[in-house]
Chain A
Amino acid sequence: MDEVINRSSTIARELKTGSGAEVGMQVLKESQSSGTVGDIYVDDPRMTCRNVNVYYGDKQAIFDIDLDIAKHQVISMIGPSGCGKSTFLRCLNRMNDTIDICKVTGQIKMEGQDIYDGGLDVVPLRASVGMVFQKPNPFPKSIYDNIGYGPRIHGLNDNKDHLDEIVETSLKKAGLWEEVKDRLDHPGTGLSGGQQQRLCIARAIAVSPEVILMDEPCSALDPIATAKIEELIDELRENYTIAIVTHAMQQAARVSQRTAYFHLGKLIEVGETDQIFTAPRHRLTEDYITGRFG
């Protein structure tokens, strides 16, 4: 905090003297009222979040978060347990709506459309912002029906052939097709943990989302399955925007281009992944990534 205060007083001084106004603007742009260090803005963002606050009953879980999410990029959200990174992620497709006591304020826009606008239906939103959860949660249905579930709900299955095609391409994109193509009618719950998680990713892809949110997608998986998922995330970046919450810092370093560090419900620092892990600018970020706490 001290750093921020110091910096803003420097800005004030510089503004007063009129010198270095450009530098001042630059710094001002970086450090908003929320006190986030680093560049929260990107050019041509997929989603923009402004002043996002989340309350569980009387308790505030997220404080004034401003963040842009860029297209065709992986942004990872790291931070100690309970720092609000999952809560923030769940705001992005309004999954928090399913929790009665949860209240979200502020503005989250997707392609200029406020997703918390009262008139907006969550059904198309969740179709365009898919989600993959911590624990693989395939439905107790066949592999085919697991993938077909979303398209059927959204009426994308005009005919059987089309649905077959969706199932096949989704499974191919998720790198699961070769492993399951002969047993599409087997229950999805019979697959291994890693396969189940890839099935869940394929299930999310099947409704052709623009953004995929992943809430610690590898925390229930072994290292080999994790490596496969990470590889997959990297491939998916070409077509989708991905926001991933992770506990493993190496994972964030491996798969993401931008990293956001959360601490006690605040967004402390955001920046290029390389920069965050090699030259963190905020002391808390540095403490966390060097393993001083977490």
Chain B
Amino acid sequence: MHTSTLIIVLLGLMSLAYYLGRKRSLNLVSGRVRDLHSLPSYYGLHTALWCGIPAILLLVVWISFEGSVVTSLVVDSLPQETQNLPPERLNLVLNDIRNLATGDIVSTTVDENMQQAADHYAGLQSISNMAMFVVALSLAIMAGYIAHRSISRQQRARNRVEKAVNFFLLSSSTLAIFTTIGIVLSVLFESIRFFQQIPVTDFIFGLEWSPQTAIRLDQVGSSGVFGAIPLFAGTFLITLIAMVVAVPIGLLSAIYMAEYAGRHFRSLAKPVLEVLAGIPTVVYGFFAALTVAPFFRDMGATLGLGVSSESALAAGVVMGIMIIPFVSSLSDDVINAVPQAMRDGSYGLGATRSETIRQVIVPAALPGIVGGVLLAVSRAIGETMIVVMAAGLSANLTANPLEAVTTVTVQIVTLLVGDQEFDSAKTLAAFALALVLFVITLALNMIALHIVRKYREQYE
């Protein structure tokens, strides 16, 4: 029988327990709810939780240990010479046994020993399954029964249920934190493996990036140099261009929307501006690569400038356009958060609208705007799709926006796309890059959030 069946049965038991618990509490006081410590539904929930949670916890523990226990039992039953195999070989044999037991394709010819082991495996598996079923169900019934019996007038069912709810909320919120920690750790460990092969200083201060490692000794152009400076320079160049586009346009449009625009115009323009935010980045990507980049190249040609067809300029400008709604909606929020009293005070002194905006509203909103811009920067640094399509792959160390540059995210993508061996420096470099990128964006976000929070307190 399947685990999902068991869970459905458990849920059924829980609803039964709810019903019984509620009924018992009502029977105890013969319908006078006021005599109970808690409402009847709390007694029901209390019984249901006792019925379900221990059994589910048991299930989780059982499933996580089942595999290793069964495997070790199977290994013990294998012939001595197989047991003495080195770990990798033993693993292969065990894989075959598992495949044989579940009816999948087996890599070697099946001999008698193996067939026996597979049968043994399948047998153990089904015993474990049955046992799990029986133990979990009896635990559920037992715990539910005890909880049901324990119901009394004075029992503090509401407090206990609320404590359980509290715990669920806590675990939900910690789940996100643990996921983040897990991601950081996985990136960190792979990065450490990378830095065992390539010195940290070479990576951080190296001026040349050429991640192709030679498979044969005589191969040409496969130096395997991992200097990250050109990548970060490219990233910052494109981010800078994006910000030069996004910050003025976003900020000015926010000021217009918040201070000048009539209700009619705002109700039309705001959704349209937000459509920009809804366009998938991959669409921006080919817009940059197929429309904007050739346009800049042709423009450059008429002006006598050599613009490469995959220029930092094209990628940066399109990324800036993508970020406009981000900057404008954040700035719009902080500008609207400036109290009307500030405007009144300024108008009351005879200031015009533009004087009020320049001298009162923007200075008052500035910390919030800076916070928003920093969030936008970290967004631009992490942006991938546009630069993959439009920025190019060659790691040039240049400040010229008309040349092709590459970014950290582009390199991570190219290093990991396709079939890769996961122990070469080339592949591991992606994790090191990701780690540095993560640290940078994390720092930016923390600074930004700090500024935004500080700003919020200002008027309170």
Contact = CB atoms under 8 A, between A and B. Distances in A.
B349 A137 contact: no
A140 B263 CA distance: 28
Interface in B414-460: 458-459
B343 A127 contact: no
A173 interface: no
A133 B346 CA distance: 11
B349 A98 contact: no
A125 B350 contact: yes
Given A137-B345, A189-B458, 9 more contacts: A100-B262, A125-B350, A130-B349, A132-B348, A133-B341, A133-B345, A137-B342, A139-B346, A149-B359
B351 A153 contact: yes
Contact of A93 (B346, B348, B352, B363): B348
Contact of B350 (A132, A137, A207): A207
A207 B349 contact: yes
B344 A204 contact: no
A137 B341 contact: yes
Interface in A125-168: 125-127, 130-133, 135, 137-141, 149-150, 153-154
B364 interface: yes
Contact of A141 (B341, B344, B355, B363): B363
Interface string B320-343: 000000000000000000010111
Question: Top 4 nearest A-B pairs by Cβ distance?
Answer: A126-B350, A137-B341, A131-B348, A127-B350
Interface in A190-205: 200, 203-204
Contact of A135 (B341, B355, B458): B341
Contact of B349 (A135, A141, A204): A204
A122 interface: yes
A28 interface: no
Nearest to A138: B345
A139 B458 CA distance: 11
Contacts of B59: none
B313 to A, nearest CB: 38
A204 B347 CA distance: 11
A100 B260 CA distance: 11
Interface in B109-149: none
Q: For chain A, give the interface size range.
A: 20 to 34
Nearest to A134: B341
B33 interface: no
A131 B350 CA distance: 10
Interface string B272-309: 00000000000000000000000000000000000000
A147 to B, nearest CB: 10
A126 B262 CA distance: 24
Nearest to A122: B350
A44 to B, nearest CB: 25
A207 B341 CA distance: 19
A95 interface: yes
B339 A137 contact: yes
8 contacts: A95-B348, A98-B347, A137-B342, A137-B344, A139-B345, A150-B349, A150-B351, A153-B355
Contacts of B397: none
B350 A150 contact: yes
Most buried by B among A153, A189, A207: A153
Interface in B343-377: 343-352, 355, 359-360, 363-364
Contacts of B348: 93, 95, 126, 130-133, 204
Contacts of B342: 137, 139-140
A153 B346 CA distance: 10
B458 A127 contact: no
Contacts of B263: 100
A1 interface: no
A203 B341 contact: no
Contacts of B359: 149, 153
Contacts of A207: 349-350
Nearest to B458: A140
A150 B320 CA distance: 38
A153 B350 contact: yes
B349 A203 contact: yes
B344 A98 contact: yes
Nearest to A132: B348
Most buried by A among B350, B351, B352, B355: B350
B363 A154 contact: no
A139 B360 contact: yes
A156 to B, nearest CB: 11
Contacts of B345: 133, 137-139, 200, 203
Contacts of A149: 346, 349, 351, 359-360
Nearest to B343: A98
Contacts of B351: 123, 149-150, 153
Given A135-B341, A137-B345, A140-B458, A123 B360 contact: no
Contact of A139 (B262, B347, B352, B364): B364
Nearest to B365: A140
A82 interface: no
Nearest to A146: B345
A123 B347 CA distance: 8
Contacts of A95: 344, 347-348
A20 interface: no
Contacts of A133: 341, 344-345, 348
A235 B16 CA distance: 80
B350 A154 contact: yes
A124 interface: yes
A80 B458 CA distance: 34
Nearest to A153: B351
Most buried by B among A122, A139, A141, A204: A139
Contacts of B344: 95, 98, 131, 133, 137
A149 B348 CA distance: 12
B35 to A, nearest CB: 48
